[in-house]
Structure 1
């Protein structure tokens, strides 16, 4: 896969359009959205669309999307629609795939112009390819990384082989993010026939099955301040920095439970309710006022990891989704019974089962536990890492295609890391992170009190 900042059909280049569709994907915000700004400058009338991906059954036999993330996305979309309405527009939600819906909608609008963000993962690339095959001109712009690929001291196809090399190269070169873009002051009006379009295309999305509000959750998305709304993302960022939690992040980030032990930015980053550049800009303002330390640096460090997994997709594309990944290892083994027990928190290993119980109940899991349960599935249960990646995709509120795939490859030793994987000793992890059994007792209620 070649690097691209903008992937456009030839007919889209520098062309003004009477009407166009803006297709929201993983960029559910108005602020710092360069693709949206570009579209608004080139279009006379605009229809903003979100296509709810159809629920599918994975090759491993379970649904691909849990009620947790669906609820979170619904709240992000409700806030996005409110913002668009305040600007004189609206959001059309369609309960169909983009490939099914957008060609017909474009035909009604008498346009072929589609604007959207570019996502360099196989299924997302296939969506755009299908639209182009149908005759649509799709302008897909790369915009989800902190650093612009054009500013890197190397081509994305020549990405350093390991993360540490990537980070040190970036820092030595002094590469910094661009400033976030302001929201457009105005957006193109809706077409005159929009109400008729809504009557034909708006299909009420089936409500998510309600899940109990589990007050043990480390990311209680059912509370307003943790909803998917861009306004909630901004408020969370502001309060996190105002409480100076950035100065203690490195010391607390490996804790297993609680709202404040980590930044909790990932759910909003994953759906695009906030951008990495917005977070970085606010972090630098915080450091200017209150000073920088190892912990505030570590937030930059984690944002670079996020970029690294994105750039891996620009370099390797579909190869990251093969059984061997970037390695020469044989295809992994798989045991369906052991995998099912892992999913259902019935492995018999208390820390692993507690983590899997939390994931199922809340759609969230600490980074430390994600690594522990992934390692256990791969190395102790001899199961296919891709099945684990698919389960995380189905369950996580903060599922991000790049980071999910990159982290599973990393643990499985099938990515770029030279240490051939990360096998965690569960008993050591218990000793280091849950010695008194607090976490296990929280999630395994039938567990005897631990000393």
Structure 2
């Protein structure tokens, strides 16, 4: 009996250093690569859950993935709808014996996995989205330290060696013999080009896709930018002030492990400093938010998160509206919200500032802000987005409570000459279509 496998791509749109996909190629006689488009329902007053920026970047990445698969005499089947129903129909049509996909532990994706397992054929999942492998952790996940600093110190104490990437498959098993329509003509809204975007995903070098992700990493290291990252990371706009790895990481065009591996190579060759360490430090924060989902799961999505003594919130949709439209009484906030809407990107510093303003100055529900970021950010990642909003709101694991930013102080420190505000407030930016 032939092993007929469906490989369902999720947030791992790459072939290089993809252990789950490599496993599928090794264990299968017949292999069908599949991508099921996520449900793009409306979240607020006609706003789509997946906005134009992420739609465009995802489409670019899928096109590149399909081209790569075709170069290996395979293809990518795209479907739209309920993932369980679609996989059930496909598995019956091709007599599939196994389904393989990467493990995602956020609530909706876990529910999807449970539904897929109910189909009745073998299901295997592989955890592969973190920099640190689960087997290398110096603690069981249910016992991981809640406080990031304690978590980091235990990780550093173990001195984990960054693993070399898994190989790129040189040959893929054949596609099913059954007649399958490989259709990529899905409707999506295309983003608009903005000259001053800090992540101009419509420019070819910043397109979604594995090839672009690997090229960007190589160029970033060639310019020796890791040596200055910590000094520039809090700037508000520009291409090179931060790594810009996050959009490609968010949908798995590149792995965090491979970035860490190449960063270590860079440090061995050109020397390590506090800035290069800080890139690893930020990747570790990303892991921390992932691992918290193993420990706390759906509790992270409650109104008060993990905080039993959370402040009372009097959410007001009118206040939320002026925030998303960039029409508050604060020009720094307005500039940030307009940049986000127009380009799908915000610096880490501005993300914290606008989040704090929504929570503490406008007294709105942090979960609504997290939803808006999910809709707008080109680099949306469920773990990091949710973790950072919990952190600012004081409903996560930090015993110090939330983070209220003084916008006057932030203005003086990060935009003293008003360059950022002028960039997004004085140009013709149309946010009226929200």
TM-score clears 0.5: yes
Equivalent residue, structure 2, for 1:5: none
Equivalent position SS for 1:382: coil
Equivalent position SS for 1:332: coil
Equivalent residue, structure 1, for 2:21: 36
What does residue range 186-205 of structure 1 map to in structure 2 within 5 Å? 186-193=171-178, 196-198=179-181, 202=183, 204-205=185-186
Say if 1:333 and 1:159 are closer, same or farther in 2 by CA, change over 3 A. Answer: farther
Normalized against structure 2, the TM-score is what?
0.96
Equivalent residue, structure 1, for 2:148: 163
Return the offset for 1:263. Answer: 0.2
Return the offset for 1:446. Answer: 6.7
Equivalent residue, structure 2, for 1:9: none
Return the offset for 1:99. Answer: 1.8
Alignment pair present for 1:244 and 2:251: no
- Indicate which of 308, 312, 334 corresponds to 2:292: 312
Return the offset for 1:314. Answer: 0.8
Equivalent position SS for 2:319: helix
Query: Structure 2 regions of 5+ residues with no counterpart?
Result: 429-434
Equivalent residue, structure 2, for 1:212: 192
RMSD: 1.5
Deviations for 1:380-436, whole angstroms, at most 9, x for unmatched residues? 000000000000000000000000010000000000111101100000000000011
Return the offset for 1:59. Answer: 6.2
Alignment pair present for 1:151 and 2:136: yes
Distance in structure 2 (CA, Å) of the matches to 1:19 and 1:418: 50
Equivalent residue, structure 2, for 1:23: 8
- Indicate which of 110, 113, 118 corresponds to 1:128: 113
Say if 1:272 and 1:308 are closer, same or farther in 2 by CA, change over 3 A. Answer: same
Count of aligned pairs: 427
Return the offset for 1:113. Answer: 1.4
Return the offset for 1:17. Answer: 5.3
What does residue range 251-270 of structure 1 map to in structure 2 within 5 Å? 251-270=231-250
Equivalent position SS for 2:412: helix
Distance in structure 2 (CA, Å) of the matches to 1:210 and 1:25: 21
Equivalent residue, structure 2, for 1:7: none
Name segments (4+ residues, structure 1) moved above 4 Å: none
Deviations for 1:121-163, whole angstroms, at most 9, x for unmatched residues? 0111111111122324321111100011111110011111211
Equivalent residue, structure 2, for 1:339: 320
- Contact 1:95–1:203 (8 Å) recurs in 2: no
Return the offset for 1:104. Answer: 0.3
Equivalent residue, structure 1, for 2:385: 404
- Contact 1:385–1:412 (8 Å) recurs in 2: yes
Query: Structure 1 regions of 5+ residues with no counterpart?
Result: 1-15
- Indicate which of 260, 274, 279 corresponds to 1:294: 274
Distance in structure 1 (CA, Å) of the matches to 2:327 and 2:121: 49
Equivalent position SS for 1:138: strand
- Indicate which of 354, 373, 377 corresponds to 2:354: 373
- Contact 1:147–1:178 (8 Å) recurs in 2: no
- Contact 1:94–1:101 (8 Å) recurs in 2: yes
Equivalent residue, structure 2, for 1:4: none
Say if 1:375 and 1:213 are closer, same or farther in 2 by CA, change over 3 A. Answer: same
Distance in structure 2 (CA, Å) of the matches to 1:168 and 1:131: 38
Return the offset for 1:176. Answer: 3.2
Equivalent residue, structure 2, for 1:430: 411
Deviations for 1:316-373, whole angstroms, at most 9, x for unmatched residues? 1111111111110346331100001101101121000100000000000000000000
Distance in structure 1 (CA, Å) of the matches to 2:215 and 2:320: 39
Say if 1:379 and 1:396 are closer, same or farther in 2 by CA, change over 3 A. Answer: same
Equivalent residue, structure 1, for 2:431: none
Distance in structure 2 (CA, Å) of the matches to 1:363 and 1:333: 28
- Indicate which of 352, 377, 386 corresponds to 2:367: 386
Equivalent position SS for 2:123: strand
129-138 vs 253-262, which moves further: 129-138
Deviations for 1:92-118, whole angstroms, at most 9, x for unmatched residues? 111223123110000001124110000
Equivalent position SS for 1:68: helix
- Contact 1:60–1:387 (8 Å) recurs in 2: no
Distance in structure 1 (CA, Å) of the matches to 2:143 and 2:161: 19
Distance in structure 1 (CA, Å) of the matches to 2:259 and 2:192: 31
Equivalent residue, structure 1, for 2:426: 445
- Contact 2:213–2:248 (8 Å) recurs in 1: yes
Equivalent position SS for 1:134: coil
Alignment pair present for 1:50 and 2:30: no
Distance in structure 2 (CA, Å) of the matches to 1:162 and 1:24: 33
Normalized against structure 1, the TM-score is what?
0.92
- Contact 2:8–2:100 (8 Å) recurs in 1: yes
